[in-house]
Structure 1
Amino acid sequence: MNMQQAADRADGILDHLLAEIRPEVRWVHGPTTTGGCDVTRRRAVMTVVSAERRGNFLGLVERSWRASGYRFESVNNDPEAPAVFARTEDGFGVGLVVGGEGQVFFEVDSPCVEVSEVADPTSRATAALDAGAEGIPRPRVRSPFWSAGAP
């Protein structure tokens, strides 16, 4: 497997997970990074996930990962900034981190693979970034379910 194939596999992992989240959330691509022999794909959820719904969200992701055969490696139960890290059967690291204002970030890291060029992701983000935006802004999409109880 080369880095592009690993990036495609990481995108597939993220696509599958985000398709399973119901009600759906809106998301954008985060930066792709490459190391000496690995690649990381990221996505940021732009839907506000309220503190009251965070447990539901984390539980849904955990069930999806368990059903996919992922092995859990680390869990941070901090109520403000929880995080979960797991590994796929083929060695990809997957992570969910809740950041500021409850914004959810997903990351998939490949194992060491053959070095190659890596193209941008081809899947279409379901939220838009403002033209000229530097970085990913805080979540701003409201959901009747996921944002319930959020200011």
Structure 2
Amino acid sequence: MKKVRIALAAALAIGVAGCSDSGTSGDQGRENAVVNRISLQEAAEKADAIILSTISSVRPTLNWVHYAPTDSGCGDYTIDGKTTGSATRRAAVMTIVSEERRGSLLGVVERYWKKQGYTISDIDSSRAFPAIDARTSEDFRMSVSVGAKGQFFFDITTPCFIKSEVSPPKTEANGTPFEGPKVPSPSVHSDFWSATTPAPSTAPTR
């Protein structure tokens, strides 16, 4: 947990100095855009820290991996005349989460996000593929969703920041890295999350 606290503290130390009149765009009025002079690399590191802290808040621990980080341009939107871009970070859970325990895991994540002051923007209560969307006050947009075979996915997309080279995530996942574009199906058994009975009201702390 010490690593998690250090990573999150470092990310939150990045100054988010909003200046509503310094960004320009041919498409006027990006209502949710955060005008910020930090680099896209710094924004991506903050996104990494949010994913890490979210997954690390879950008990018992989940096995997870990074996958498919991407970044893209923001069209003609500029900050101080500089090109901007947005980054997306993603994580896949390799722990097998049974159908009976998926709602409990979604609930843990939702409560954690609310505790951090994030806004829950949408809840998809689909029986097969439920999902929760949220956003931070700086408009970092995140989601947790359930995919094929009950696999949990986390992703977070940054607002538009000054474009820069973006390195792969440096936060440490506890799953086995994989090669290729396809994320492996969940394969790690958990006595708690893989159980086929409803979750007790109080989850174990380890």
Please report the TM-score for the alignment, with normalisation by the length of structure 2: 0.70
Shift of 1:129: 3.4
The one of 174, 181, 192 equivalent to 1:145 is: 192
Shift of 1:85: 0.4
Name the CA distance, whole Å, in 2 between partners of 1:17 and 1:134: 24
What is the aligned partner in structure 2 of residue 26 from structure 1? Answer: 63
State the superposition RMSD in angstroms.
1.2
| Cα pair 1:11 1:121 within 8 Å, conserved | yes
Number of residue-to-residue matches in the alignment? 149
Name the CA distance, whole Å, in 1 between partners of 2:188 and 2:137: 34
**Structure 1: stretches of 5+ with no match in the other structure:** none
**Structure 2: stretches of 5+ with no match in the other structure:** 1-37, 74-84, 198-206
The reply to whether residue 119 of structure 1 matches residue 167 of structure 2 is yes
The reply to whether residue 2 of structure 1 matches residue 50 of structure 2 is no
What is the aligned partner in structure 2 of residue 11 from structure 1? Answer: 48
Q: 1:2-151 counterparts in 2 under 5 A?
A: 2-36=39-73, 37-130=85-178, 132-149=179-196
Larger Rg: 2
Secondary structure at the aligned position of 2:155 is classed as strand
Name the CA distance, whole Å, in 1 between partners of 2:158 and 2:167: 15
Please report the TM-score for the alignment, with normalisation by the length of structure 1: 0.95
Secondary structure at the aligned position of 1:35 is classed as strand
Shift of 1:134: 4.2
1:64-119 Cα offsets, whole Å, 9 max, x none, are 00000111111110011001101011110010110000000000100010000000
Name the CA distance, whole Å, in 1 between partners of 2:45 and 2:155: 13
Equivalent position amino acid for 1:138 in 2? S
Q: Which has the higher contact order (CA 8 A, sep 6+)?
A: 1
Name the CA distance, whole Å, in 2 between partners of 1:111 and 1:129: 28
